[in-house]
Chains A and B, each alone.
Chain A
């Protein structure tokens, strides 16, 4: 009996290793090991290229509290995340509502809205830089000064570009949510006398809460991590007013040759993101209802 159980166990382990082994190994090699090594680097004064580094304990973490630039970039990133999440999801949801209501050319419009998502962040930034600097400044409805030359407008320029890029992707998830709600519920609600607004609020939205959970998580995390578009659209300017957290951390590690400190900031940033993402997932998951 014991031998039989043991054999079964080793068979299970073998099967597990056969199927999950390769991906587990890759995951450990490329995610877990670098993460742990990254944590170790936060406790050193490594400059990023030297072959020697001194162990400094938690000194870097203690110094983060004195880093005004880092905290101001975190605050800026928070504002950017809030604005992006609201606009991306708001617009994606409205478009999804329209594109599932039976209007003509739905498929063409869905593909059209999704297309910006296929353009990489760097290219996207350069395209929009051209639009803001060269196109909009020549149109009479816009001011002569580029959006990118004014700190407040440059911030909103980033939000506009992110909304343009990400809403098409979220749109597809919301469409899946809308389509996934059984017509039986809608029909039943109509028979009970519910109007369109009530159907949307009371029937559709609760039943497609999973879409909100996914979309909010994706937009939150991508907005927090923004770097490529930040670099090519505003390069942190004007006056250093749009340096988001990722750019500040990158500069600290690579430009200022303070890798240990930059890595520590990255860990703190990661923890902040983690807390926000977990709260978001908990809040939205609680509202999910089963049909």
Chain B
């Protein structure tokens, strides 16, 4: 009898535990399951009425209280994850908000999975691609935001504002100027080396004078096959229309192989491969090791972007020794770098409650409209702000070089809103890798590019 009783009790415990698993039915997101029931209980019915004075309080320096709600935050900019998390959590602590922070290096995949699971992040740092593909359906329109008038780089889809620009970045060559000058034995003036011919001659001279392989071509797909190859379209004439015209040219039966910028791009790959410090095995290059080559002066140019400074600084790079320069371009855009807002913060419009959205908006205002937020973004995260009201200047030499040498002088190219679909890179990757390792030809690369654009539509048209 006792055994029966125990058996029944055990079974009852199991059934109850199952019921417990399904209890928090009001939870809008799996990640917020701990905090949300609290919010449901604590948030008063007239929460919305309380929000208005809360926002006003922000301006007057008082601190708004969001009643312990939870915001999930997806960061797709891993190199500033720690700094960003500190900023978000610092703000959240002041406003009685709980933050669940996670990072991803692949925002498309992560967002797709999260939305498929009904668990999209309330706040997310994303690329423009995700805004184009998911914005209208999943993201909160931010038109009329306090900060809208302070930037020209916000991301709109069909006239509606979805993305708050987080940072301006440039894909370019990062230069260890000291290493170049010590090898050459003279002052280095980057404006003299903006074409494939002059830049190749410079690399040859460096090799002759002892720097065997002066350039570092990153092996990472996002760099070699993403950023570097994208400039083939971005530098057609430096405008979005130029990119669309190129795509239309292919769609109308044109051959990428005959395109001048395509030839320029192939030449860039050939030059970089020849003088690559990872020449023996270009696909096995390791990011950290590449950074150390540049910092140690074993190589002088790194095909990367302004976001790479934190990695160089971590290896002891001296702020006085570095600057950026353009990839070698032979058309009218020679000497320019691609620079645009590369990351945006968006707010969810599918599972976020009005309270969560209000808090998220307040956080964006904090980043853009308060001195503390502006300073934290530029000085802690080391980024170039996309906002005209941000008085802080970047502290590192790479971003300073972007701001002073290129943005201030108008030597930038920005092809917003043109964008390639998210499978562009993975589709082109094998052909670019084969070209770089000598196993493929420019003809094969052109054919793959032709095939791609004849079966795909560009984003942003």
Contacts and interface: CB of A to CB of B under 8 A. Distances in A.
Interface in B1-50: 7-8, 11-12, 14-15, 17-18
A239 B435 CA distance: 10
A270 B429 CA distance: 28
A259 B113 CA distance: 10
A201 interface: no
Interface residues of A, number: 33
A19 B134 contact: no
B365 interface: no
A149 B284 contact: yes
Interface in B185-222: 221
Interface string B286-316: 1001000000000000000000000000000
Chain B binding surface SS class: helix
Contacts of A225: none
B267 interface: no
Interface stretch (A21-29, A58-66, A79-87, A204-212): A21-29
Contacts of A280: none
A237 B285 CA distance: 13
Contact of A239 (B18, B116, B280, B433): B433
B10 to A, nearest CB: 9
B222 to A, nearest CB: 11
Contacts of B115: 48-49
Given A22-B14, A240-B429, A48 B116 contact: yes
Interface stretch (B104-112, B164-172, B373-381): B104-112
B423 interface: yes
Interface string A229-265: 0000001011111000000001101111101000000
Contacts of A18: 7-8, 11-12, 15
Nearest to A149: B283
Contacts of B274: none
A148 B11 contact: no
A19 B138 contact: no
A21 B116 contact: no
A49 B138 contact: yes
A233 to B, nearest CB: 12
B283 A148 contact: yes
B67 interface: no
Contact of A238 (B112, B283, B350, B422): B283
A237 B11 CA distance: 51
A196 B350 CA distance: 69
A134 interface: yes
Contacts of B11: 18-19, 21-22
A21 B13 CA distance: 12
B284 A254 contact: no
A255 B423 contact: yes
A144 B12 CA distance: 64
Interface in B266-285: 280-284
A117 interface: no
A152 interface: no
B112 A257 contact: yes
A117 to B, nearest CB: 27
B133 interface: yes
Nearest to A23: B14
A133 interface: yes
A134 B116 contact: no
B434 interface: yes
Given A239-B430, A251-B426, A49 B111 contact: yes
Given A22-B14, A146-B281, A149-B284, A255 B426 contact: yes
A129 B422 CA distance: 26
B408 interface: no
A137 interface: yes
Interface of A: 18-19, 21-22, 25-26, 48-51, 132-134, 137, 144-146, 148-149, 235, 237-241, 250-251, 253-257, 259
Given A21-B11, A25-B18, A239-B433, 14 more contacts: A19-B7, A22-B14, A134-B286, A137-B284, A145-B284, A146-B281, A146-B283, A149-B282, A237-B430, A238-B283, A239-B434, A240-B426, A240-B429, A257-B112
Task: List the 6 closest pairs (A to B, CB-CB), nearest first.
Answer: A18-B11, A146-B284, A49-B115, A239-B430, A240-B430, A149-B283
10 contacts: A18-B8, A22-B14, A22-B15, A22-B17, A22-B18, A134-B286, A238-B433, A240-B429, A254-B109, A259-B116
